[in-house]
Structure 1
Amino acid sequence: MINPAITIVIPCRNEAANLAFLLDEVDAAMDGRSYEVIVVDDGSTDTTGEALGTRIKAGKPLRHVRHDKSAGQSAAVRSGVFAARGKVVVTMDGDGQNDPAYLPRLADALLQAGPAIGIAAGQRLKRTDTKLKQISSKFANNLRGAILKDNTRDSGCGLKAVHTHLFRELPFFDGWHRYLPALVIREGYGVVHVDVVDRERRHGKSNYGILDRGLRGILDLYGVWWLRKRRKTVPTITEISHG
């Protein structure tokens, strides 16, 4: 597998039961395209490793990147981005709630938008989370939008497509994956959106708590606001040949 056009990055922890059907769906959605899939196993203690090994031995366009201990979703996404061989990275969650049918749509939306656009961000319709999680998410998104002005209704959706070189240049911190539109804008690029429909989780439960995410999110929001304020001008860079 040499230089695929698109890399699908899937961060996960203890999602073997969901990966069993999700990876088949990814392959079906990307059929006919040049792609690879990187599953970043964030210190899983279930049968994730065995399941991925079986698929790799069967010749699937799949790579297994493993953390020796859980470092969180942001770190897992980052590990996948730096391992990517494709020129575009498309991210999705490993819990099965993101529908792989949107993967090619996101990649196409990014590429067709032209070089001025840095990210195609999925925005969820018909949320399947609990009412409490939906309310907390709506509040967080409204607050984030008012402060960061990233023109994004739902920055927490796992489905996103970003140019690989740009993804690697974004400032990293824990929770970074929830602020990608604002961080991309900071680098001087624009954002396009793709509406997506969430699905019910079939197996297991979320590894991320509402209160933990909410409390940390306040600090993250201030940090991203500070980063945006500290970069007021993004120049166009060209090298001049005097030969």
Structure 2
Amino acid sequence: MTPAFPLSVVVPVYNEAGNVAPLVREIVQALRGVTEFEIVYVDDCSKDDTVAALQALKAEAPELRIVRHLSNSGQSTATRNGVKAARGAWIATLDGDGQNDPTDIPKLLAMRDESPADVKLFAGWRVQRKDTGSKRWASKIANAIRSRMLRDSTPDTGCGIKLFEREAFLDLPYFDHMHRYLPALMQRAGWKTVSVPVNHRPRGAGVSKYNNLNRALVGIRDLRGVAWLITRSRLTRTEEV
């Protein structure tokens, strides 16, 4: 596919009707005049008015496209389907709850422009999180365990704002919850990754779709699986003769 845009912003959402309009407007304000872009929202079969809220924004934000799942499939699947539908050479992702700040996207783009070509992922790092104390402690413990097992040199893999090359992402192995392990998966593929401090904000509306227990239970299984993938990887350089 020949890219139609330098950048696509992919936002997976589930029951985020109250956060849609403010975030779309912030994305547009942050990027118009900076680069050509499109916004791809992927609705994960919401039960509220998320899709209606998105459709109402199309007149003021012609950059907006809407992809809708016909069944609830989770954030990783929504992200991947958004990337597949995207027409940009590079992808910026944001969580749909408004906690990521779109004004950080130009910062990630500037970092990319200053970096070597083999850096394919710029991962947001929430240095001052605006979550509950229990969620911050759970993430701190999970990040420590993950870093020890995967050695991905990434302080915060759970941050939703990331910038990566579309082609490199689609070449990664796909599985549910893969979005939590993108730095390790990119490194497994032979690419370099960089963590960039970004802003973090309180949720604007609605409620979180995760809790500490379900994250921990699936995280243990996923972590073992990613560690296995890393041990089974083999990178081979090639040349055309």
TM-score, normalised to structure 1's length?
0.94
What residue number does 2:7 align with? 6
1:21 maps to amino acid: P
Residues of 2 paired with 1:52 and 1:29: CA distance? 18
Which 4+ runs in 1 deviate beyond 6 A?
none
C-alpha displacement of 1:131: 0.8
What residue number does 1:97 align with? 99
What residue number does 2:24 align with? 23
Matched ranges for 1:107-126 at <5 A = 107-126=109-128
C-alpha displacement of 1:106: 1.6
2:83 maps to amino acid: V
Query: How much is the aligned-residue C-alpha RMSD, in angstroms?
Result: 1.2
**Number of corresponding residues:** 238
What residue number does 1:64 align with? 66
What residue number does 1:222 align with? 224
What residue number does 1:143 align with? 145
Is the Cα–Cα contact under 8 Å of residues 123 and 193 in structure 1 kept in the other structure?
yes
Change (3 A) 1:59 1:28: closer
SS, match of residue 121 in structure 2? strand
1:234 maps to amino acid: L
Selected match of 1:201 from 182, 192, 203: 203
1:2-54, Cα deviation, whole Å (9 max, x unpaired): 80110000000011111110110000111111100000000012111112212
Residues of 2 paired with 1:173 and 1:196: CA distance? 27
Is the Cα–Cα contact under 8 Å of residues 31 and 106 in structure 2 kept in the other structure?
yes
2:105 maps to amino acid: L
What residue number does 1:183 align with? 185
Residues of 1 paired with 2:162 and 2:238: CA distance? 26
Residues of 1 paired with 2:240 and 2:58: CA distance? 43
Residues of 2 paired with 1:133 and 1:24: CA distance? 28
Gaps of at least 5 residues in structure 1 are none
Residues of 1 paired with 2:97 and 2:183: CA distance? 22
Q: Please say which of residues 102-111 and 215-224 is displaced more in the overlay.
A: 102-111
What residue number does 1:166 align with? 168
Matched ranges for 1:73-92 at <5 A = 73-92=75-94
C-alpha displacement of 1:59: 5.0
Is the Cα–Cα contact under 8 Å of residues 88 and 107 in structure 1 kept in the other structure?
no
Is the Cα–Cα contact under 8 Å of residues 104 and 199 in structure 2 kept in the other structure?
no
